[in-house]
Amino acid sequence: MTTGSTPAPQIDPTAETGNTPQPVPASPHHPFAAQVSTWLCRFPKWRIVVYALASLTIGMTQGLGINLVASNLPGIQGSLGITATESYWLVAAYTATSVSGTILLYKIRTQFGMRRFGEYGLLFFAAVSLAQVFTHDFQTAVAVRAVMGFAMASLGPLAIFYMFEIFPPAKKLTAGLCLGLAGSQIAQPISRIISPHLLDLGHWYQLAFLESGLALICLAIIWILPLTHPPRVKVFERIDWLSYPLIGTAVACISVVLTLGRYYWWFEKAWLGEVLVLGIITLTLAFMVELKRKNPIIDLRWLMTPEMLMFTGSMLFVRMLLSEQTTGMVGFLTLVGLQNDQLVTLFWIVLAMTFAGLVFVSIIHRADRIVYIHLFAMVLIATGAWMDAHSTVDTRPEQFYISQGMIAFAGAIFLPTSLWLGFARALQFGQSQIISFILVFLTTQNIGAQVGSAFLGTIQILREKFHSSVLVEGISLQNPYVVERVAHYSQALKPVIGDSSQLNAQGLARLSLSATQQAGLLAYNDVFMVVFYMAWGCFAVLALHIVVPKITAKISASRQAGDAAAA
């Protein structure tokens, strides 16, 4: 076992049972792992490199679990013979189980130990990943993705803990936390970079092989590189078997509605409303059970404090803003006919700026600088969105290099500092609040991304209908410009169509298609402008958060000085 103290927050042994628990014997590491640890302690620089690479690999494996499929839905449609709308069930199934899985697996880690937690979780992940290779029907693929979402939950905390190992206690929740999130944050651009090559080798089965291989590599890391972890304590209660299914069902239902609502359209399918009602009912029942528990899984009273409400709201809001990159920019370029292989350079830039932001914030991170870091992030997001809002049909990835680099940098500096701030507030209320905080953080990241995609995607659809109606109203064969454009389209088809009436009909069809595309592009510009205004609104709130207390303090000081002079 490695030397040094454990950086990770621990759950108070009395937090779940109300009594002092009996200690659980620690499971010894494999002798080979002990030898590796001894050898690395002799070479501190190599130890830093090895543990940092281990953290990046584990975090990237977690991030690729969702992003590889989400980035390659068109290719997966062909492999499974499904429609574009049906393919989003693969994303919904994965996200529906990932958050609730983390709640349960965090308690498993606390009671049964880090090593077992990682080993069994990764074995499960690798087996399920490999099962995708033998999946040939849509229903089985959805079930497999749901199981993978649950299995993936063990990887996020492990990536952070491995990065913690190489930092002294004073730096664990600053530089260690920032770089511990690096693997999961760089996974999204990496998935876009490597996807074209994987699909060329063998459709979506190559994605499954990669996920399974990475899981086995992470399993080897767990066996070889030991972690310093908190004492194991018994934290499960019988009532958990009632609370957890209710929480898991609620999260899954809400996640499915948010992911699929805009594709099936919110008011068109009755089952969307039924699933949402089921989610609300189970969430209400979960709240009723948790509020009556002495030691709840989720401390709702603490989560309802003004500080935690502000933290939750800000994380959700910023995660929505960052959806501009996936829902907005990628959707725009897909509409003009570009695929992943044409976006590789763009995502290399996004990857580089994300990593640069993580390194930058790990260096300058300090408690009194956090609000200014957040202000800077909002300026970057607003500026990038404003630049994107001037896109045209001729816009290509090169025009997004600067704007998307700025947004990637902003996301990389905002997330770690916000997570540190939340940890600090959680620890003020005691270590027993850590599990509630982790739930909040994961929910804001997963649900926030889904809310952002649903919100911005819905705006894009509504604005596309508006722009389409305006453009169609202006199309009339009495307009000489329209006639000229139809003749231009028809001229290109003359070598293959001899009938003049069919030629004219094809020209009109191509004009209509062009108008539809233009309406979609204008709608995406509207989405970028919405992000622009939202970012500046967040900037204004943060600025007021700085200015108002200072003004209040000055007024109070002047009143006290006046009272003293009068006395």
pLDDT digits (tens, 9 = 90+) for 76-87: 777 777 888 888
∠ CA 60-65-69 to the nearest 5 degrees?
Answer: 125
Asked if residues 93 and 146 have their Cβ atoms less than 8 Å apart, the reply is: yes
DSSP string of 433-460, one letter each residue: GHHHHHHHHHHHHHHHHHHHHHHHHHHH
The CA dihedral of 446, 451, 452, 456, to the nearest 10 degrees, is 150
Tokens read off for 130: 């490999």
Measured distance CA(516)–CA(78) in Å, rounded: 25
pLDDT for 115 equals 62
Question: Environment class of residue 459 by beta-carbon count within 10 Å: exposed (0-12), middle (13-18) or buried (19+)?
Answer: buried
**3-state class (DSSP) for residue 41:** helix
Of 92-101, 122-131, 274-283, 394-403, the poorest mean pLDDT is in: 122-131
Asked if residues 400 and 336 have their Cβ atoms less than 8 Å apart, the reply is: no
DSSP string of 176-233, one letter each residue: IHHHHTHHHHHHHHHHHHHHHHHHHHHTTHHHHHHHHHHHHHHHHHHHHS----PPB-
Of 23-27, 296-300, 438-442, 449-453, the poorest mean pLDDT is in: 23-27
Is pLDDT at 207 greater than 50 in this prediction?
yes
- Residues 6 or more apart whose CB falls under 8 angstroms from that of 292 comprise none
The CA dihedral of 544, 549, 554, 557, to the nearest 10 degrees, is 170
Asked if residues 10 and 176 have their Cβ atoms less than 8 Å apart, the reply is: no
Tokens read off for 176: 């260690």
Q: How many CA atoms lie within 13 A of 560 on its CB side?
A: 6
pLDDT for 278 equals 92
Measured distance CA(335)–CA(331) in Å, rounded: 6
Kindly state the percentage of the chain with pLDDT values over 70: 75
- Residues 6 or more apart whose CB falls under 8 angstroms from that of 192 comprise 67, 71, 340, 343, 344, 347
Average pLDDT over residues 412-440: 71
* Of 75 and 333, more confident: 333
Average pLDDT over residues 294-298: 71
- Residues 6 or more apart whose CB falls under 8 angstroms from that of 241 comprise none
Is pLDDT at 424 greater than 90 in this prediction?
no
What pLDDT digit, counting tens, does each position of 525-562 carry? 999 999 999 999 888 888 887 888 778 878 877 777 77
pLDDT for 444 equals 72
Of 178-182, 287-291, 360-364, the poorest mean pLDDT is in: 178-182
pLDDT for 16 equals 38
Would you place residue 235 in the very low, low, confident or very high pLDDT band (cuts 50, 70, 90)? low
Average pLDDT value over all residues in the chain: 77
Is pLDDT at 28 greater than 60 in this prediction?
no
Indicate the residue type of 445. Answer: Q
